[in-house]
Amino acid sequence: MLLSTRSPRHPRTAALLAAGASVALLAAAAPRPAAPLGIGDRLFPHLGNPGYDVRAYDISLTYQGDNSKPLDAVTRIDARTTSRLDRVNLDFSHGIVRSVEVNGSRASFTTGGEDLIVTPRRPVPAGWPMHITVRHTSDPMPAKDAEVGWVRTKDGLAMANQADAAHRVFPCNDHPSDKALFTFRINAPEKYTAVANGLPVARTRGGADTDWTYRTAHPMATELAQVSIGRSTVLHQEGPHGLPVRDVVPTKDVKALRPWINKTPGQLAWMEKKVGRYPFENYGVLVAEASTGFELETQTLSLFERELFLRPEYPSWYVDSIMVHELAHQWFGDSVSPRTWSDLWLNEGHATWYEALYAQEKADRPLETRMRNAYRDSDAWRASGGPPAAPKGPVRGEKISIFRPVVYDGSALVLYALRQEIGKEKFERLEREWVSTHRDSTATTADFTELASGIAGRDLSGFFHAWLYGAKTPPMPGHPKWKTQPVQRQAPK
C-alpha cells in the first residue's frame, strides 16, 4: 500500500470508534457462548482462526448494477483441519449470512466480535478435508468502523482489503499467513466489465447478464484479493517473456491513460533485472475513479486512483515511481507475504526501496539524498510509530492505522544501512535469493535476517536488532556525519 501524500485529503473521521460487527443472522442457534478467535497476531489479535488451513476459496458475487446495494454471494472454502474442530471460526463482519454448510451438512452459526462462528453437525477430526459453503450478502456500503473492503467507485466497485478488511467482503481466514488459491465468479449486467486476480477462465452471456470467472495460479493472501466491476476497458499488452499484461481502466479515460499504462512492460523488465522473474501469471494496473487515499498492490492487478495519472501537478517521475512501488510489492508482500503484520516493514521497506531506486536511475533523484532525509526523521518516526519490526498497533481513527512513515522510508533506510554494511553485491544477491527462496509463501523478519547473515558470511543479529527493534536509529555505516533530528517531547499537560 502507499498512502497519498500528494494532495490534501479529506481526513478520515474518527468514526472508527463504533466497533461491533454488522453480521445479521437470519437463523442462528448458538449451542454455547461463542467467542471470536484469532491466531494471536500482535497487531490484530482477532484476525485469522486456529485449527484449519484454507486451500482454496471459490467466491460467487452477483452485482445488480447498484453499488449501494448488497451483492448476493456464495463463498465456498476448501480447507483442511489441523486440529479437531467442534466449532469453526471464520472472519466475517459485513453482510447477512443466510446459511452455512460444512462437509455437505447444514451447520448452525452465530457471531462473536467480527467472527462468524459455525457449529458443524459433527465435529471435524484433525487432518480432515473441510468444505464450507456460506450463502451470504456482501454489503459495499461502508461500515462505521470500516477502513474499506469494497471501494465504491464512480462506475461500480473495486476492492481494498489491506490489512484487515477482506472479511468485510467475504467470510475467510483473514490473515496473510494462510494463503490460498482463489476463484472468483462475478455475475453483472451486460454493460459492466468484471475483472479479478489471476487469469480469465470463462465468460458467458445469458440474457442481460454476463458471468465472468477468474482464477489465481498462485496462492494469495485474503488482503490482496481484487474484484473490479465497472464501465471499464481491458487493455492488453505483452511484458517480458510474453507475460500477459492486462490493464483495467475506465472506458472514458482510455486515451488519456494509455501513455501511463504503456510504461508497465518497461517497469516489469526493470524490476526483473533487479530481483529476477516476475512471480505471477499476469500483471496489470487497475485504475479506479474513487478517492481511496492510497494505491494498493492487489495481487496481479494493482489498484490506483485515477487522479494519480490525470492530475497535471504530479511530475511524471513521481507517478512512475509510485507505479514501481506497487509493482515491486508483487515480489515483496504478495509472492512473499508477511507471516505476521509486524513483518510489514518487509513489504513496505522493499517497495519503497525500489520506488526510490527507480527514481534515482530513471529520473536522477539520488537515493542517498532521500535516505539522508529519512535518517534525519527516523528517530521521530520510531517515536511515533514504533521501530520498523515492532510497529505500534492500529489506532482507531488514524488513517490506515499501521501504515506509518516508519514502515516506508523508515524501513527502506534499514535496507540502505544493510547495503552499506554488507556491500552492494551481497545486498543484491540477498534480494534475489529472498524472493526466490520464499516465493508463493510467507516469511518472517527472522527469515530475512538469517538469510542476510548467511549471505554476508557473518552474524548480523546485533546489526539487525539495533536497526529493527531500537527506539533510536543506530549510526549509519559509512556516513558518520548523518544526524537524526531530536524528537520533540510532548509538553506535559
Q: Which residues bind Zn ion (CB under 5 A)?
A: 1-2, 348, 351
SS (H, E, C) 382-436: HHHHCCCCCCCCCCCCCCCCCCCHHHCHHHHHHHHHHHHHHCHHHHHHHHHHHHH
Cβ distance to Zn ion smaller for residue 59 or 225 = 225
**Nearest-approach distance from CB 3 to Zn ion, in angstroms:** 9
Cβ distance to Zn ion smaller for residue 1 or 220 = 1
Cα 159–Cα 51–Cα 146 angle in degrees, nearest 5: 25
d(CA 344, CA 358): 21
d(CA 211, CA 225): 19
Q: Show the cell assigned to 223.
A: 488482503
- Residue, CB closest to Zn ion: 351
**Nearest-approach distance from CB 294 to Zn ion, in angstroms:** 8
**Nearest-approach distance from CB 435 to Zn ion, in angstroms:** 16
Which of 326, 334, 332, 384 is CA-nearest to residue 358? 326
**Nearest-approach distance from CB 146 to Zn ion, in angstroms:** 20
Q: What are phi and psi of 167, to 5 degrees?
A: -75, 0
Cβ distance to Zn ion smaller for residue 34 or 225 = 225
**Nearest-approach distance from CB 295 to Zn ion, in angstroms:** 8
Cβ distance to Zn ion smaller for residue 256 or 367 = 367
d(CA 330, CA 345): 15
Cβ distance to Zn ion smaller for residue 52 or 354 = 354
**Nearest-approach distance from CB 142 to Zn ion, in angstroms:** 22
Cβ distance to Zn ion smaller for residue 215 or 350 = 350
**Nearest-approach distance from CB 301 to Zn ion, in angstroms:** 15
Cβ distance to Zn ion smaller for residue 115 or 348 = 348
Cβ distance to Zn ion smaller for residue 248 or 412 = 412
Q: Show the cell assigned to 350.
A: 522493499
d(CA 79, CA 97): 20
**Nearest-approach distance from CB 272 to Zn ion, in angstroms:** 19
Strands 302-305 and 285-288: parallel
**Nearest-approach distance from CB 348 to Zn ion, in angstroms:** 5
Residue 150: CB partners within 8 Å, gap ≥ 6? 67, 138, 139, 140, 157, 158, 159, 168, 169
d(CA 134, CA 96): 10
Q: Are 288 and 279 in contact (CB under 8 A)?
A: no
H or E, element range at 265: helix 264-275
Phi-psi region of 454 (alpha: psi -120 to 50; beta: other; left: phi over 0): alpha
Cβ distance to Zn ion smaller for residue 72 or 348 = 348
